[in-house]
């Protein structure tokens, strides 16, 4: 503030006293005593510039119109509509937990029920954001989610960054009062102006809860009373350990070419927990931690692991999936996937102890997070699996995947699936007598029905 006043006074002296630019430049580097004897007769004759204290008083008490300040940019006046919102707007990090059952993912999608659509409605009703800002949340309120969860996927530690009014009384309570019970905002923290929940995240932790019968060997009948053995658990550990490190995961998402640098992702840890029984079904929790994940990546990592353990694929399939060839990788159901925690180590190291900002650490909400998991996330996963048998039905589709590679032609036009061409030729030869060519899907349908019958619980 002081330096701005001094600079303003200098320009005032130049304009009032008709002082040359060279004199002005010398004046800026002079001490107070040197300025008194400088060639500034008009300014000194006025008697207003005896010392810097008098200059400051004059600047504060006798302000001229903004346009007379010289080259200084005029302060922008607030639009009329902003006067209706006399609150301070600050950048915040918001801790969000939710059960994804019944939602088409996290990201707002006009015409569909998503987590963000309900959150934006609650923010407006609570009076912490303007209604017109949710139409362009990124540009108007700096909104950014740390992770984009898919349909049916839950979160026990989602973080979003946004600008909102911080002077609203009991803002957190008002937001939650306008949210459904399966979505809760647990905490808010002030951040730097440039904080971005997605780009500022150092790494992410997900868990995947699955019935253990998903790992039953092919020779065993899949039943709900299946109990996993230690040998099978060791087999699973050996397979998922292969994922750690940096690999090209272009086969574990959609729309990525093998030469796309963004397809390379770093997996820090992939572990399997101890099995447990709930309502007659045995479950196991897989925990994966990595810098970032692409769409469907974790579900495909889990799906291929199950296919290998069951005997439909082998370790060569996994190794080939990281190479240039296109590999048919199955995608496990989204029901058991949960965004467990987001880590902001780099941000916290730089800003967490600067005395002005809070560390993005939600450990004080640990008990509330666990209660929400026990009340909403876990029961939804267990009840849906018990009633809808999503994993059991998905396992019946594993034989439909060929797990073979498709040669990348390098032209950018896609892949040439040699195996599919062979299948079409074989079907054509079998149907040549009747002149009726059946599609591979028609031949596969009886196989699906048979597998479902064979794997259905008794």
Give me the active site residues, please. Answer: 150
What is the SS3 assignment for the chain?
CHHHHHHHHHHHHHHHHCCCHHHHHHHHHCCHHHHHCCCCHHHHHCCCCCCHHHHHHHHHHCCCCHHHHCCCCCCCCCCHHHHHCCCCEEEEEEEEEECCCCCCCCCCCCCCCCHHHHHHHHHHHHCCCCHHHHHCHHHHHCCEECCCCCCCCEEEEEEEEEEEECCCCCHHHHHHHCCCCCEEEEEEEECCCCCCCCCCCCEEEEEEEEEHHHHCCCCCCCCCCCCCCHHHHHHHHHHHHCCCEEEECHHHCCCCCCCCHHHEEEEEEEEECCCEEECCEEEEEEEEEECCCCCCHHHHHHHHHHHHHHCCCCHHHHHHHCCCCEECCCCCCCCCEEEEEEECHHHHHHHCCCCCCCCCCCHHHHHHHHHHHHHHHHHHHHHHHHHHCHHHHHHCCHHHCCCCEEEECCCCCCEECHHHHHHHHHHHHHCCCCCCCCCHHHHHHHHHHHHHHHHCCC
Residue 112 token pair: 């569909």
Q: From CA 341, how far away is CA 155, in angstroms rounded? A: 8
Closest by Cα among 151, 149, 130, 152 to 141: 130
Q: From CA 59, how far away is CA 381, in angstroms rounded? A: 67
Helices 2-17 and 21-29: crossing angle, nearest 10°?
Answer: 150
């Amino acid at each position: 503030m002081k330096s701005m006043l001094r600079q303003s006074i200098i320009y005032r002296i130049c304009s009032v006293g008709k002082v040359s630019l060279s004199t002005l430049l010398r004046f800026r580097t002079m001490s107070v005593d040197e300025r008194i004897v400088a060639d500034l007769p008009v300014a000194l004759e006025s008697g207003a510039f005896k010392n810097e204290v008098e200059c400051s008083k004059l600047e504060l008490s006798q302000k001229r119109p903004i346009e007379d300040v010289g080259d200084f940019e005029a302060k922008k006046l607030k639009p009329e509509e902003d006067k209706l919102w006399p609150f301070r707007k600050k950048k915040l990090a918001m801790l969000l937990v939710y059960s994804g059952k019944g939602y088409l993912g996290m990201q707002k999608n006009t015409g569909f029920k998503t987590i963000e659509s309900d959150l934006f409605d609650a923010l407006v009703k609570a009076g912490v954001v303007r209604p017109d800002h949710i139409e362009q949340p990124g540009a108007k309120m700096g909104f950014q989610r740390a992770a984009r969860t898919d349909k049916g996927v839950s979160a026990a530690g989602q973080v979003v960054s946004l600008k909102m009014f911080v002077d609203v009384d009991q803002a957190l309570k008002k937001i939650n009062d306008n949210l459904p019970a399966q979505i809760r905002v647990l905490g808010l923290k002030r951040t730097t102006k440039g904080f971005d929940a997605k780009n500022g995240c150092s790494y992410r932790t997900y868990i995947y809860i699955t019935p253990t019968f998903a790992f039953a060997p092919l020779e065993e009948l899949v039943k709900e009373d299946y109990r996993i053995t230690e040998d099978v658990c060791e087999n699973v550990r050996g397979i998922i350990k292969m994922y750690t490190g940096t690999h090209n995961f272009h086969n574990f998402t959609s729309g990525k070419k093998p030469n796309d640098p963004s397809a390379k992702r770093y997996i820090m840890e992939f572990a399997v927990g101890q099995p447990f029984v709930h309502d007659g079904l045995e479950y196991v929790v897989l925990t994966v931690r990595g810098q970032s994940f692409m769409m469907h990546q974790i579900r495909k990592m889990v799906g291929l692991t199950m296919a290998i353990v069951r005997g439909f694929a082998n370790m060569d399939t996994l190794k080939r999936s990281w190479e240039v060839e296109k590999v048919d990788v199955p995608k496990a159901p989204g029901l058991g996937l949960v965004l467990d925690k987001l880590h902001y180590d780099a941000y916290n190291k730089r800003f967490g102890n600067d005395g002005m900002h809070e560390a993005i650490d939600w450990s004080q909400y640990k008990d509330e997070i666990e209660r929400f998991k026990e009340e909403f996330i876990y029961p939804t996963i267990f009840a849906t699996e018990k009633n809808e048998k999503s994993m059991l039905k998905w396992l019946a589709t594993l034989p439909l995947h060929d797990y073979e590679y498709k040669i990348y032609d390098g032209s950018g036009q896609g892949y040439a699936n040699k195996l599919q061409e062979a299948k079409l030729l074989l079907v054509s030869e079998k149907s040549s007598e009747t002149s009726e060519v059946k599609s591979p899907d028609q031949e596969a349908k009886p196989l699906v029905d048979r597998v479902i019958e064979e794997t259905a619980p008794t």
